[in-house]
Amino acid sequence: MTQTPGSTKVRYAPSPTGRIHLGNARPALLNWFFARAHCGQYVLRMDDTDLARSTRESADSIEADLAWLGITPSLLVRQSERTALYDAAVDRLKGAGRLYPCYETEDELDRRRKRARALGKPPIYDRAALKLSDADRARLEAEGRKPHWRFKLDGKPVHFEDLIKGAQTVNTASMSDPVLVREDGSYLYTLPSVVDDIDLGITHVIRGEDHVSNTGTQIEIFEALGGPVPAFAHHNLLTDAEGQGFSKRLGSLSIGDLRAQGYEAIAVAIMATLTGTSLPVEPHASLDEIAGKLEFSAISHGPARFDPAELDSLNARILHAMSYQAAQPRLAERGIAGEELWLVLRNNLVKFDDIADWARLVTGPVQPVIDEQDRAFIATARELLPPEPWTLQTWADWTDAIRAATGRKGKPLFMPLRMALTGRHDGPELKSLLPLVGRKACLDRLL
Ligand code: GLU
């Protein structure tokens, strides 16, 4: 995203009703990239107007997950603390004749939708409540009914230039007037989002393409409230390998779980954002580096399929290239040290924590595996172990001598040595491992 300093202000607006998952991380990060590339501000807005489902615990977990990914918002706001602003907007919309009270129950609305469908008509709200007289309303309220409030759409095509999807038209004539305020006075998502975008001076709304049709409604509300209307960018949604959307309740790919499973934050960020773009999914050093490369034009218009195997291989590639300087504090936490050790072992890692197992090949204990039929061979090899100091040449010198003495070559020569020295049939190059293990430990393992 091109570097242009200015007054850019974006927001990421999760509903704190559970842990955020990989699909939620996509808008979180795309907004972050945009803010960074434009020297802008990043607002974290908790869409917590649904008091029954929102929890402080979820909100806190979202903050922690974003911090882990490397996102540090410039501002945090909670919609539950901003009701006065929404109330003021409601008054203005009522005054402008754009918000009207409706008294239908869910059952009544359901029956009407069914009837419309049976008649081959679109099941959109018929605006019956607009025809109610003051006396009708008084009677309904006397019956104990409380109104919910609908926004009166213009019923015209709304055009906007989407920064990702190009020119878009949403025809609000084919939509029901949206309910903005529930019977109990609580707010649905649509209005508070617009009020906050205006109040906070949001310049760009970057979110999933499931919000394109909302945008038609919201542009009308922006205009009814005197705007300004921000720019919109709707990105493709991340799906699992089967093409299904992620769900907060699914759990398994929550950012918290991926973290607990030991993935690198940068690997998760790369998967969440570069999947479904024309850029290759490959290691990047930092979020800023991705921000410098990922333009909106690179985001494809089809779905973005997440492949878990790709996350594993990306994570591994990131670790295989990780410098000792970067790894050192994390190694120290695990009681492991040594640049040589890191450089030799890092190529075997899929997750950082694998280092503990691999480091045992150097520090021990190792349970040597020696087949009965290889006992004499191993005993000969032990006797031929060269004197120290050991270098990268030691392995070749030693195995040349064993070959000459025993006539073995290839796998029958190398595999019994590997099994004896490491207790496993795969792992780092023995040539590099040998000097790290040292002669004394090798002698012990060849017994
Ligand atoms: N809370 C909404 C969501 O999670 C925000 C959508 C928006 O960015 O406007 O889908």
CATH code of the domain containing 397: 1.10.10.350
Question: Tokens for 167?
Answer: 């020119």
User: Quick one: pLDDT at residue 246?
Assistant: 77
State the pLDDT at residue 60: 98
Full domain range(s) for residue 119? 87-157+165-181
pTM listed for this prediction: 0.91
Do 236 and 210 contact (CB within 8 A), yes or no?
no
Question: Residue with the nearest Cα to atom 5 of ligand 1?
Answer: 13
CA distance 162 to 167: 6
Cα(206) to centroid of ligand 1, in Å? 9
| Local confidence band at 5 (pLDDT 50, 70, 90 cut-offs) | very low
Nearest to 435 by CA among 377, 393, 374, 381: 393
Domain contains 327: no
Shared-domain flag, residues 272 and 153: no
3-class secondary structure, 342 = helix
- What separation in Å is there between the alpha carbon of 315 and the centre of ligand 1? 29
Question: What are the Cα distances from residue 232, in Å, to 83, 199, 205, 212, 245?
Answer: 25, 17, 5, 9, 22
State the Cα angle at 366 between 358 and 314, rounded to 5°.
15
Other C-beta atoms lying within 10 Å of the C-beta of residue 125: 19
283/418 same-domain check: no
The closest-lying atom of ligand 1 relative to the alpha carbon of residue 15 is 1
Domain boundary (284, 300, 321) is at 321
Q: Which of 261, 292, 321 is the last residue of a domain?
A: 321
Task: Look at the chain and report how many structural domains it folds into.
Answer: 3
The per-residue pLDDT for 245 is: 80
Together in a domain, 68 and 153: no
232 and 284 in one domain? yes
196 and 216 share one domain:
yes
Ligand 1 atom at minimal distance to the Cα of residue 206: 8
User: pLDDT tens for residues 352-393?
Assistant: 999 999 999 999 999 999 999 999 999 999 999 999 999 999
- Provide CB contacts within 8 A for 131, sequence distance 6+: none
pLDDT band at 6 (very low <50, low <70, confident <90, very high): low
Verify that 254 and 397 share a domain, yes or no.
Answer: no
Determine the distance separating the centroid of ligand 1 and the alpha carbon of 369, expressed in angstroms.
Answer: 57
Distance in Å, CA 24 to ligand 1 centroid: 10
The pLDDT of residue 119 is above 70: yes
Distance 4 CA to ligand 1 centre (A): 26
Mutate to test the pocket of ligand 1, among 17, 26, 47, 79 (most ligand atoms within 8 A of CB): 47
> What is residue 122's predicted lDDT score, i.e. its pLDDT?
87
- Helix, strand, coil percentages, rounded to 5, for the chain: 50, 15, 35
Listing DSSP states for 232-293 in one string gives EEEEPPEE-TTSPBP-GGG-TTBHHHHHHTT--HHHHHHHHHHTTBSS-----S-HHHHHHH
Q: What is the mean pLDDT of residues 248-259?
A: 76
Per-residue model confidence as pLDDT tens digits over 265-319:
999 999 999 999 999 999 999 999 999 999 999 999 988 999 999 999 999 999 9
Of the residues 45, 53, 211, 218, which should be mutated to test ligand 1's pocket, given the most ligand atoms within 8 Å of the CB? Answer: 211
User: Final residue of a domain: which of 321, 354, 385?
Assistant: 321
Both structure tokens of 40: 């802008």
The answer to whether residue 205 sits within a structural domain is: yes
Task: Output the residue whose Cα is nearest ligand 1's atom 10.
Answer: 14
57-84: average pLDDT: 98
From the alpha carbon of 11, which atom of ligand 1 is closest?
8
427 within some domain: yes
Does residue 359 belong to any structural domain of this protein?
no
pLDDT at 244: 81
Residues 112 and 69 in one domain: no
State the pLDDT confidence band at 250, using cuts at 50, 70 and 90. low
- Tell me which residue has tokens 């290839």: 410
Instruction: Tell whether 70 and 212 lie within a shared domain.
Output: yes
Which pLDDT does position 301 carry in this prediction?
Answer: 92
Q: What is the pLDDT of residue 1?
A: 55
pLDDT for 394 beyond 60: yes
Q: Which of 77, 193, 210, 222 to mutate to test ligand 1, by most ligand atoms within 8 A of the CB atom?
A: 193
How much of the chain, in percent, has pLDDT values that exceed 90?
93
- The pLDDT mean for the chain works out to 95
Residue 11 Cα, ligand 1 centroid: separation in angstroms? 10
Mean pLDDT, residues 167-194: 96
| 28-32, 120-124, 160-164: segment of lowest average pLDDT | 120-124
| Interval between CA 13 and ligand 1 midpoint (Å) | 5
Both 220 and 299 in one domain: the answer is: yes
342 within domain boundaries:
no
Q: Are 180 and 187 in contact (CB under 8 A)?
A: yes
Q: Is residue 394 assigned to a domain?
A: yes
| pLDDT band (50, 70, 90) for residue 260 | very high
CA of 14 to the centre of ligand 1 (A): 6
> What does residue 286 show for φ and ψ, rounded to 5 degrees?
-155, 165
pLDDT tens sequence across 334-344: 999 999 999 99
**Nearest 5°: CA angle at 28, between 26 and 30?**
65
Q: For a pocket test of ligand 1, which of 79, 197, 207 has the largest count of ligand atoms closer than 8 A to its C-beta?
A: 207
- The reply to whether 120 falls in a domain is yes
**Domain match, 292 and 207 both:** yes
**15, 20, 49, 209, best to mutate for ligand 1 pocket (most atoms within 8 Å of CB):** 15
**Ligand 1 atom nearest residue 218's Cα:** 9
Ligand 1: which residues within 6 Å by Cβ? Answer: 13-15, 47, 189, 193, 207, 211
**For range 72-96, the mean pLDDT:** 98
What pLDDT, on a 0 to 100 scale, did the predictor assign at position 240? Answer: 82
List Cα–Cα distances, 247 to 23, 161, 189, 250, 333, in angstroms.
Answer: 8, 29, 18, 5, 34
- Residues 406-410 have a mean pLDDT of 96
Q: What is the CATH number of the domain that holds 261?
A: 3.40.50.620
Distance 207 CA to ligand 1 centre (A): 7
- For residues 311 and 237, membership in a common domain is answered with yes
Residue 395 is classified by DSSP as H
Q: Is residue 121 part of a domain?
A: yes
Take atom 4 of ligand 1 and give the residue whose Cα is closest: 14
CA–CA separation, 247 and 258 (whole Å): 15
201, 70: one domain:
yes
